[in-house]
Amino acid sequence: MERDIVNIGKSVVIKGELNGSEDLTVEGHVEGTIQLKDHVLTIGPNGKIKASVFAKAVIVLGEVTGNVTATDKVDIRDNGSVDGDIISPRVAIAEGAHFRGSVDMQRKGAAAAPAGPPKPAAPQAAEKTQTQPQGTPQRVGA
Protein backbone atom coordinates (compact mmCIF):
# COMPACT_ATOMS: atom_id res chain seq x y z
CA MET A 1 0.00 0.00 0.00
CA GLU A 2 1.58 3.27 -1.11
CA ARG A 3 1.02 6.27 1.12
CA ASP A 4 0.46 9.75 -0.25
CA ILE A 5 3.25 12.17 0.66
CA VAL A 6 2.94 15.93 0.25
CA ASN A 7 5.99 18.22 0.08
CA ILE A 8 6.15 21.87 1.09
CA GLY A 9 9.16 23.34 -0.72
CA LYS A 10 11.83 25.51 0.91
CA SER A 11 10.53 28.72 -0.71
CA VAL A 12 6.99 28.21 0.70
CA VAL A 13 5.85 30.11 3.80
CA ILE A 14 2.60 29.12 5.52
CA LYS A 15 1.02 31.08 8.39
CA GLY A 16 -2.06 29.65 10.05
CA GLU A 17 -3.57 26.21 10.58
CA LEU A 18 -2.38 23.26 8.51
CA ASN A 19 -4.55 20.10 8.54
CA GLY A 20 -4.15 17.01 6.43
CA SER A 21 -4.80 13.32 5.92
CA GLU A 22 -1.53 12.54 4.16
CA ASP A 23 2.10 12.25 5.21
CA LEU A 24 3.77 15.65 4.96
CA THR A 25 7.36 16.79 4.44
CA VAL A 26 8.11 20.44 5.20
CA GLU A 27 11.20 22.08 3.70
CA GLY A 28 9.82 25.62 3.99
CA HIS A 29 8.51 27.76 6.87
CA VAL A 30 5.30 27.07 8.78
CA GLU A 31 3.89 29.23 11.60
CA GLY A 32 0.73 28.34 13.51
CA THR A 33 -0.65 24.83 14.02
CA ILE A 34 0.00 21.56 12.17
CA GLN A 35 -2.45 18.67 12.63
CA LEU A 36 -1.87 15.30 10.94
CA LYS A 37 -3.64 12.92 13.35
CA ASP A 38 -2.90 9.59 11.63
CA HIS A 39 0.08 10.60 9.52
CA VAL A 40 3.80 11.31 9.60
CA LEU A 41 5.22 14.82 9.62
CA THR A 42 8.81 15.18 8.46
CA ILE A 43 10.59 18.49 8.93
CA GLY A 44 13.37 18.46 6.33
CA PRO A 45 16.87 19.88 6.83
CA ASN A 46 15.72 23.28 5.46
CA GLY A 47 12.39 23.26 7.32
CA LYS A 48 11.67 25.83 10.02
CA ILE A 49 8.53 25.33 12.07
CA LYS A 50 7.12 27.76 14.64
CA ALA A 51 3.98 25.87 15.50
CA SER A 52 2.15 23.47 17.78
CA VAL A 53 2.45 20.09 16.11
CA PHE A 54 0.02 17.14 16.42
CA ALA A 55 0.77 14.01 14.37
CA LYS A 56 1.11 10.23 14.51
CA ALA A 57 4.88 10.49 14.12
CA VAL A 58 7.23 13.46 13.80
CA ILE A 59 10.70 13.25 12.25
CA VAL A 60 12.83 16.35 12.76
CA LEU A 61 15.80 17.09 10.50
CA GLY A 62 15.33 20.88 10.59
CA GLU A 63 14.11 23.27 13.30
CA VAL A 64 10.93 23.16 15.39
CA THR A 65 9.98 25.87 17.86
CA GLY A 66 6.81 24.85 19.68
CA ASN A 67 5.28 21.88 21.42
CA VAL A 68 5.21 18.52 19.62
CA THR A 69 2.56 15.89 20.36
CA ALA A 70 2.75 12.50 18.62
CA THR A 71 0.63 9.40 19.21
CA ASP A 72 3.44 7.07 18.05
CA LYS A 73 6.95 8.57 18.01
CA VAL A 74 9.07 11.73 17.88
CA ASP A 75 12.47 11.30 16.23
CA ILE A 76 14.98 14.17 16.37
CA ARG A 77 17.71 13.27 13.91
CA ASP A 78 21.30 14.48 13.66
CA ASN A 79 21.35 18.30 13.28
CA GLY A 80 17.61 18.44 14.05
CA SER A 81 16.41 20.94 16.66
CA VAL A 82 13.35 21.13 18.92
CA ASP A 83 12.69 24.00 21.33
CA GLY A 84 9.49 23.02 23.10
CA ASP A 85 7.81 20.25 25.04
CA ILE A 86 7.35 16.76 23.59
CA ILE A 87 4.45 14.44 24.41
CA SER A 88 4.84 10.98 22.86
CA PRO A 89 5.10 7.36 24.04
CA ARG A 90 8.42 7.00 22.15
CA VAL A 91 11.13 9.64 21.74
CA ALA A 92 14.50 9.29 19.98
CA ILE A 93 17.15 12.02 20.08
CA ALA A 94 20.21 11.43 17.92
CA GLU A 95 23.71 12.45 18.86
CA GLY A 96 24.28 15.91 17.45
CA ALA A 97 20.60 16.88 17.75
CA HIS A 98 19.39 19.84 19.82
CA PHE A 99 16.51 19.66 22.29
CA ARG A 100 15.32 22.14 24.91
CA GLY A 101 12.09 21.45 26.76
CA SER A 102 10.41 18.63 28.64
CA VAL A 103 9.42 15.12 27.57
CA ASP A 104 6.26 13.30 28.65
CA MET A 105 6.36 9.64 27.57
CA GLN A 106 3.30 8.38 29.46
CA ARG A 107 1.30 5.97 27.36
CA LYS A 108 -2.48 6.11 27.14
CA GLY A 109 -4.06 3.90 29.82
CA ALA A 110 -0.68 3.20 31.45
CA ALA A 111 -2.05 3.94 34.91
CA ALA A 112 -5.03 1.59 34.47
CA ALA A 113 -3.26 -1.36 32.85
CA PRO A 114 -0.73 -2.21 35.61
CA ALA A 115 -3.39 -1.85 38.34
CA GLY A 116 -5.47 -4.81 37.05
CA PRO A 117 -3.10 -7.80 36.73
CA PRO A 118 -0.99 -7.34 39.90
CA LYS A 119 -4.02 -7.69 42.20
CA PRO A 120 -4.60 -11.40 41.46
CA ALA A 121 -0.86 -12.04 41.21
CA ALA A 122 -0.03 -10.36 44.52
CA PRO A 123 -1.64 -12.99 46.83
CA GLN A 124 0.02 -15.82 44.91
CA ALA A 125 3.40 -14.09 45.12
CA ALA A 126 2.88 -13.48 48.85
CA GLU A 127 2.03 -17.15 49.45
CA LYS A 128 5.13 -18.29 47.57
CA THR A 129 7.42 -15.97 49.49
CA GLN A 130 5.77 -17.02 52.77
CA THR A 131 6.81 -20.66 52.28
CA GLN A 132 10.46 -19.71 51.79
CA PRO A 133 12.53 -19.76 55.00
CA GLN A 134 13.48 -16.28 56.19
CA GLY A 135 14.79 -14.78 59.39
CA THR A 136 11.47 -13.08 60.24
CA PRO A 137 8.05 -14.44 59.28
CA GLN A 138 5.99 -12.40 56.82
CA ARG A 139 2.47 -11.33 57.67
CA VAL A 140 -0.21 -11.80 55.06
CA GLY A 141 -3.72 -10.40 55.29
CA ALA A 142 -5.39 -7.73 57.41
Over the stretch 43-98, which tens digit does the pLDDT of each residue have? Answer: 999 999 999 999 999 999 999 999 999 999 999 999 999 999 999 999 999 999 99
Query: Which pairs with CB-CB distance under 8 Å and at least 24 residues apart come from 73-81?
Result: 79/45, 80/43
Q: What is the pLDDT of residues 101-126, one digit of tens each?
A: 999 997 765 544 444 444 444 444 44
pTM for the full predicted model? 0.73
pLDDT of residue 137: 54
How would residue 138 be classed by pLDDT, with cut points 50, 70 and 90? low
pLDDT average, residue stretch 22-38: 96
Q: Is the pLDDT of residue 17 over 70?
A: yes
pLDDT of residue 5: 82
pLDDT of residue 124: 47
pLDDT of residue 135: 52
Question: Could you give the 3-state DSSP secondary structure of residue 43?
Answer: strand
How confident is the prediction for the chain on average, in pLDDT?
A: 83
List Cβ neighbours of 57 (8 Å cut-off, separation of 6 or more): 40, 41, 70, 72, 73, 74, 75
